[in-house]
Amino acid sequence: MADTLINGVFKINRWLRDAANGAPDACFELGIAYASGLDGIAADYVEAHKWFNLAAMGGDDRAQQYRADLAAEMSARDIALAQRAARDWLVGVPRQAA
């Protein structure tokens, strides 16, 4: 169990670093982790939607469908919170050219 948690923390830290550098695939992986509670992260649909939104904005087509599926399970308030969190994340984060 401890090895799984440590491995998960390393993956999450790598994804966060890569997401901060504008990598849509890292955002997608964070969305998956938060949507399903993988890698030692508690499931959090608002956070998952934020990451899928960021991945979709970066051109990840898979993220668009995952975001839509997740939104069907969320309240309008939670979707608005996720969208605001995505906008807040973008402040100062470089974007990759599409």
What are the pLDDT digits (tens) for 13-62? 999 999 999 899 999 999 999 999 886 788 999 999 999 999 999 999 99
Residue at 33 is within a domain: yes
pLDDT over 50 (residue 88): yes
- Report the pLDDT value the prediction gives residue 73, as an integer from 0 to 100: 96
Number of domains in the chain: 1
- Report the pLDDT value the prediction gives residue 93, as an integer from 0 to 100: 61
Cα 25 from Cα 59, distance rounded (Å): 9
pLDDT over 80 (residue 69): yes
Mean pLDDT, to the nearest integer, of 67-92? 94
**Alpha helices for 21-97 (secondary structure H):** 24-36, 45-57, 61-71, 76-90
Residue at 95 is within a domain: no
CB-CB neighbours of 52 under 10 Å:
30
Task: Report CA dihedral (3, 37, 35, 53) to the nearest 10 degrees.
Answer: -50
Residue at 30 is within a domain: yes
Residue at 96 is within a domain: no
